[in-house]
Every structure is written in C-alpha cells, then in structure tokens.
Structure 1
Amino acid sequence: MFVRRAYIPDSLTPEPPERDGWPFTVPCVAALVEHGLTFTHPVTFLVGDNGSGKSTLVEAIAEGFRLDPYGGRAGARTGRPNPRKSPLGAVLRLETTAAGARMLGGPRLKKKGFFLRAETAFAMTENLGGVPGYWAEDTSRMSHGEGFTTIFRTMMNAPGFYVMDEPESALSFTSCLHLTALMYELGRSGAQVICATHSPILAATPGADIIEIGEHGFRRTPWEKLELVDHWRRYLDNPRSYLRHLVDGGGDDG
C-alpha cells in the first residue's frame, strides 16, 4: 500500500464562515475534517448516492498523491491547462507508507499511478491513443466501454496508486466483472486502489474494504448490508414496486 490515511491538519482546518460552505458542509467531508479517513486494505470502495460527496473525496485524494485532478497518469508532464486544486484538495493531506513516500519522491518516469474520472475519460479515449506513455490502440475508433477497458488494461498493469471515480459508467455487466478481477489482482500485486462507485458488482471485489458514504458521514459496511445492494436486490425482484411511484402505469400489468 502507498497511503494509510487522508486527513486535514489542524492548521489547515477551515474556520467559519469558510467551514460553513461547500464542500465542508457535506457530511463525509465534515467527518474527514473531524476524524480523518484510514485505509486498511489494498482495495477500497467509497459507495454512496449522487451528491453524497464520494467523488469530492476521491478527487482530493488523487490531488494529494499529485495525480492530475482532470484525470491521467502519475508523472505526466502535462495535464489540465492552468490546473487548480479543488477546495478540499487544497487542504487535504495524505499519510503515506514508506513505499508511498518513495513513489512521490522518486523520478517522474518511475511514478506508477492513474486517476480515472468518468466524465473526462471519454475525452482521453478520443485523444490519447498512440500517445507515448499511454496506450497504442486507437481508442477513438472503439466503443466507450472498449476504450475504458483499454485504459484499465494498459495504465493499471503494475503496482501503483490508482484512483477511480465511477469507472463503471461505460461498462457492460461482463466488463464490470473483468474490472473486478483486475482490481482483485492489483490488490494482490502490491498496488492500492481507491474507487468511488455505484456498482454492486465492483464493490463485491473479494477482500475489498467498503466505506458507505451518506448523511451519516462515512462508515465501513459489509457488501451484503449496503443500501445499494439492498435496493438492487429489491428492484430486480420486483421492478414495479419502485416504478409505480415514478411512471404512469408502472404498476399495471396491461
């Protein structure tokens, strides 16, 4: 592993009125300010609903490890034009392991890491195929799912620090299974993965630590007790029980 803990030092903790504004009013960020967030497993999932703050957390963690918050690999010479840290990234700090400290302090070309965020990964598949340091395939001619799979296979092929924000957005059921297997193998290889997801498939990666994000802040939760898993089970068992509240005739047979 490369990172043990994400935290905000007391000297950087915002004071009112700044602490009364976004993102510090988001429950999971407020919990981070108070307690920090410890990582205990090679693969960690942050699971929560839209707006819960999980993407805000993973973006700041990526920034803390000097990954381009726009998305991209560690040690890249260029990234987002005129990069500026997010409000949380500006104050968040990472407690690294010895391996993490060596990675951050080592030569640029020895840095192994990648930040994948779904909304910018589409542009990456259009523009980075064939660019030195990325992938050889012309991903602009692939489907989005195939392009994402190429990114995973090429950029996450060695022990490193990998941060992902909703990587399942372009993936089919089968592709999610393949990504689950990749995350499992990365964890066994000495890599560290931190992933924000809505996918019960990815969250079921064997041996992963699952942190549920919500109004409570954050808490470690077994896969089978996640609200996400409960809702999917009930929906697949009886879609009408959900759709009747949303769609005219959703509960009718004909």
Structure 2
Amino acid sequence: MGILNEAFRWLNDPLNWTGRRGVVELATAHLLVSAAAVGLALLVALPAGLWLGHRRRGATVGVVVANTTRALPTLALLTLLAASGWFGNTATALACAVFAVPPILANAVTGVGGVDGDVRDAARGIGMSGARMLWTVEVPLAMPLIAAGIRTGAVQVLATVPLAALVGGTSLGTIVVTGFATQRYGQALAGGVLVAGLCLLVEGLLALVERLAAPRGLRALARAAASDARAAERATAPRRRPAPVAAPGGTGSNGASPSP
C-alpha cells in the first residue's frame, strides 16, 4: 500500500503537473510523437491497403508481409535506430510508425476488399471509373473497418511511445523511467497510470469518431439489425409458466384438501 499512497501523493502534487518536465508538457510531447508516428503509418499503409483491396489481388501477401513487422520488438528497433545516430522523439516516431502499419493496412485491405461484388458491378454499370468507384463507393462502405484499424494503430502507438525515454525522447514514459532510476516506485506507478488513462481517453474519442465516420445508411442498417436480433431473442426466449397458487383453506392446486 505504500507505493499506492506514494503514487496518489505524486499525482496530487500540483508541482508535478506544471513547469518544465511536468505532466502537461510531457503529455503534449507524448501526443505529438504519437500523431507523427500514426501520420507516417497512414502515409504508407492506407494507400497500399486501398489499392490492394480495390485490386483484390496480392492482398494476402501484403498483409502477411506487414504483419511480419509485429515480430520485431519496438525496443530492439529503437536500439538499432539509436546505434545509427537516430535519437529522441524522431527515432521513437519512426519505430512506432512501423508498429502501427499492420492494423491500418490489414483493415483497409479487408474493408475495401469485402465490398459486395454486386455493388461493384452496379457502379461499373453506370459508367464509374476505377478511381471514382474506389472513392465514392468502396471507401465509404469500408470506412468503419478503416477507422477501426486507425484506432487500433493509434492506441498501440500511444502505449509504445513511453519507450522514447530510453533513447533520450520526451513522453510520459519519462516519469516512469525517472521513477525507476531514482527508486521512487510510486512515481513510476503514477506514470503508468497516466499512460493508461491517456490511452483510454484517446480510445474513447477515436471510437466516437469511428462511429460518426460510418455512412448514415450503414448506421441505420446496424441499428435495424440490432433491433431485429433483440426481437428474435425475445420471441425465442422460453416463457415461464406461473406457479400454482394454493386455494384458501389449505387446499392444493386442484382444489382437493390435503390428505391427513
């Protein structure tokens, strides 16, 4: 309980929130590095995913190749970048961008590639070109999955950016690393709580954006499907029969008096 009390006191100290290396400054740097990493991942993964999903050829190979980057530990990649002369937030942004590519690419490929073939045929039938069909038909229908991939990649990056403190970067991980270095384990725990809280906050905001990004028609279909599922569940649920009520005078449910 001593570490918990120390963490609580550290979080309630106003001096730890303001000024240089305060929580506000470190959280801002944390968000900026995360945004840079997600932006780099989007520049690489999103066009490739849309193109592979639209072509419906080579998508599996592309996703498998991207997923192989998951086997590369982020800390090892940071160490390699540091050995090559890349330190601080730049190295962290590059390493985390590699880590964010797989979910963005996989969801973009799956979303665009999963558009109904009849919808594609109808778009071609009215004279749409491939590019126009991609941006006006396929991407809007795939937007829920694309947004989910971006949300997953962003939260993973937010949870990984604290490693920046190990290569001279600035983030909320600085609080954790400083706490361990000075044997103030309550401070380290407080830093972990701040990182987890930031991840949960961004997760909730991106989930809201993901819901708003879906076309109205898809949202209406989802609500209708959920309503039909609830109605079917109520219709198939077994109904309980009312328990028999004993008649006045001690008689049973059939009106006969109990035998002595």
- Higher normalized strand content (fraction of residues): 1
Structure 2 length-normalised TM: 0.23
Structure 1 length-normalised TM: 0.23
- Higher normalized helix content (fraction of residues): 2
Higher relative contact order (CA 8 A, sep 6+): 1
**Which structure: larger Rg?**
2
